[in-house]
Chain A
Amino acid sequence: MSVVESDNYEPERRARRLAGPLFGAACLLATLTGVVVLSVVLGAVAAAALGHGSQHPWYAIGPNAWKLGRFLVSLTQKFSEDAGFRAGVYGSLWLLALTVLFAVPTGVGAAVFLEEFTPPGRLRRAIQMNIANLAGVPSIVYGILGLALFVRAFGFESFALGRSLWAGALTLALLVLPVIVLATQEALRSVPSSLRHAALALGASRWETVRDHVLPMAVPGILTGTILAVSRAIGETAPVLMVGAAGSIDWIPNGPGDRYTALPVEIYNYAKEPGVEFQSVAAGGILLLLVILLTMNSIAIVIRNKYRVPTR
């Protein structure tokens, strides 16, 4: 029997068959947008950083990276020969370590409480909504909060941390906290509940279940979220400026109570200098920042793969 023509359907149209490939092509273009733009920007930055004068390749990220950024303090020195990023690199690494120290235990703890210990209900929804909103608050707002709370302690001088690394790191910790909480919750939710039931049915308490089974299985997700959050924090300029990262200093912080500057703040300061040489200094700083961030992310990926739990 042959197929009988039916009048109930439109005759076959070419447009319909073309729609699929066209949509695919559009999606490909969308994908390429990000990649292409990022490559162009990176290329331009690299060119600017490396192309300062023919006799000084690697100008700003070579030996100068390890110079102290002191040009603002000694303005008599005309140029950028003394410009460098050592103070910023040290400041940013200090900030990074202290931020992780404050934000990860707090964020993971909050997420465990919400996911594992709070029954779903109005309280949990309220907290949940609060945290989701906090994640969307602009960073400058956290800067102002940090200034009032940590730097000045609302005027209680004995509690004020001043413009120290403590204040900067606590501010950044507040900034990344909601992101860490949300990422950890997501990771905890992806742990199958059959695993919790298995542990609880053996007579384990909630805490033992979370400690030995749920958290280890959630580690890859928690790490991913934490690293993304901290990477964002380390690139933040506005809140750190607000809580008093120095524009330029000519010493290196020795402890968390010291004053500091951060890499993005230094980049910003060099970039707004009128001298054209400083443009390449700023570009060098950007490359340096990217190298630090990419290194961090690679370390994270290695840790994540090591912790990966076999799944069924």
Chain B
Amino acid sequence: MTTRSPLRIEPTTPPDESPPMRPSDPLPALPPPKPDPATVPDPVISARSLCVWYGSSMALKNVDIDIPRHKITALIGPSGCGKSTLLRCFNRMNDLIPGARMEGTIKFEGIELADPSIDAVALRRRVGMVFQKPNPFPKSIYQNVAWGARINGYKGDMDELVEKSLRRAALWEEVRGKLHKSGLDLSGGQQQRLCIARTLAVEPEIILMDEPCSALDPIATAKVEDLMDELKEDYTIVIVTHNMQQARRTSDMTACLMLDEAAVQGGHRTGVIAEFSPTEKLFTNPSDPRTEAYITGRIG
């Protein structure tokens, strides 16, 4: 390793220095580095040793993560590594998948989310979700926003709530004259903001976003990202994204998930958290070699 080809683009750290060679370490194979979640003060959700199973196959292994309050946390990683699975643990949407079960603990404001007997219906009002493909109800814009509030027994003035939610989702000016038109008549980006407005109307504490912009064009994506930035004053946001620029632009903390190599050898796809750090650190100075490989585009 003394001479290097001048044509190779070198990573910022020279390769002969990148694996930290500790002379005291007798084992050449490194154990999977344990992410250090303890850097988050006062987390809203905190998961410890979380494992998720779909039937007999393990989808997530030993996940430790703390979701910081009123911040945006991004989950990135290659396809099939369990980002969405982790997201769906937070509002128990995995319950809808037959055979799914959780082990370990996830605490949300004193509630143990891994406990199968908790009221998932009540939980989901407090932990809202925005999906990959905009999925407004085939009803009017007004009904789209009002329905969730109504079934949850909202006692206040519904017109006011609808306007407030649409304003908060930066959609009010565009739809104020056509509240009774179908939500499906809107453009894709508007539909996605309508879905956000609908989620805001039930006053959640956390908003989970599962690749909310992957079906949108760049302009609509920028609007949704601006919106997320405003919303984090009042809400905690967790976003799954395949777009690393988006994660970098929007989030405060980033968790990079990876497939567990031991499981891949055994023919399974099990996700683990490779690294969980402040976004700026993860993208500029990742401590995990797999994360570095992923964000520089060498794997995934």
**Min distance, Cβ A75 to any Cβ of chain B, angstroms:** 62
Contacts of A205 in B (CB 8 A): 121, 151
Q: Does A140 contact B (CB under 8 A)?
A: no
Residue-wise interface mask of A (195-217) relative to B, using a CB-CB cutoff of 8 A (1 in contact, 0 not) = 11111111111001000110001
Q: Which residues on B sit within 8 Å (CB–CB) of A196?
A: 96
> A119, A197, A213, A312: which contacts B93 (Cβ < 8 A)?
A197
For the complex, give the distance between the alpha carbons of A195 and B135 in Å.
Answer: 6
9 A-B contacts, Cβ less than 8 Å apart?
A194-B133, A199-B137, A200-B93, A200-B121, A201-B131, A203-B123, A203-B151, A205-B151, A310-B184
Q: Answer yes or no: A309 CB below 8 A from chain B CBs.
A: yes
Nearest Cβ in chain B — how far from A118, in angstroms? 10
**Contacting residues of chain A (275-312) with chain B, CB-CB under 8 angstroms:** 309-312
B14 part of interface (Cβ distance < 8 Å) = no
Interface hits, B144-162 → A, CB 8 Å: 147-148, 151-152
Q: Given contacts A121-B98, A310-B184, A311-B138, are A202 and B151 in contact (CB under 8 A)?
A: yes
The total of interchain contacts (Cβ-Cβ below 8 angstroms) comes to 73
Additional A-B contacts beyond A198-B137, A203-B121 (6; CB < 8 A):
A119-B98, A195-B135, A198-B135, A203-B126, A204-B151, A213-B137
A202 near B148 (CB under 8 angstroms)? yes
Establish whether residues B121 and A197, one from each chain, have CB atoms under 8 Å apart when the complex forms.
no
Q: Is the CB of B121 within 8 A of A201?
A: no
B52 beta carbon closer than 8 Å to chain A: no
Residue ranges of B at the interface with A (Cβ–Cβ < 8 Å): 91, 93, 96, 98, 121-126, 128-129, 131, 133, 135-138, 147-148, 151-152, 182, 184, 195, 198-199, 202
List residues of chain B with CB within 8 A of the CB of A155. Answer: none
- Complex Cα–Cα for A152 and B243 (A): 71
Asked if A120 is at the interface of the complex by the 8 Å CB criterion, the answer is yes
Which residues between 169 and 223 of chain A lie within 8 Å of chain B, taking CB atoms?
A: 192, 194-205, 208, 212-213, 217
Q: Determine the chain B residues whose CB is within 8 A of the CB of A195 once the complex forms.
A: 135, 137-138
List chain B residues, Cβ under 8 A from A200. Answer: 93, 96, 121, 124
A309 near B138 with CB under 8 A, answer yes
Q: Give Cα A289 to B268, complex, Å.
A: 62
Inter-subunit contact A201/B138 (CB<8 Å): no
- Contact check: which of A121, A202, A204 meets B199 at CB < 8 Å? A202
A204 to B91, CA, bound (A): 13
Residue of B nearest to A209 (CB): B151
What B residues does A199 contact at CB under 8 A? Answer: 137, 147-148
Would A310 and B182 count as touching, CB distance under 8 A?
yes
| A207 to B251 CA separation, bound complex (whole angstroms) | 37
Bound together, the chains give a CA A192 to CA B135 distance in angstroms of: 10
Q: What residue of chain B has the Cβ atom nearest to residue A208's Cβ?
A: B151
Bound Cα distance A192, B137 (Å) = 11
Beta-carbon contact of B137 and A201 below 8 Å: no
Q: Are B129 and A201 in contact (CB under 8 A)?
A: yes
CB distance from A74 to the nearest CB of B (A): 60
- For the complex, what is the distance from the CA of A204 to the CA of B93, rounded to whole Å? 12
CA distance A182 to B116 in the complex (A): 33
Question: How far, in whole Å, are A119 and B199 apart by their CA atoms in the complex?
Answer: 27
Assuming the contacts A197-B131, A198-B195, A312-B184, asked whether A204 and B148 have C-beta atoms less than 8 A apart, the reply is yes
- Smallest Cβ distance from A210 to chain B, in angstroms? 12
A288 to chain B, nearest CB (A): 40
Whole-angstrom distance between the alpha carbons of A246 and B147 in the complex? 53
Query: In whole angstroms, what is the CA distance A168 to B137 when docked?
Result: 42
Q: How far is the CA of A177 from the CA of B177 in the complex (A)?
A: 46
On whether A204 and B121 interact (CB within 8 A), knowing A120-B98, A217-B138, A311-B138, the answer reads: yes
Check if B184 sits within 8 Å of A203, measured CB to CB: no
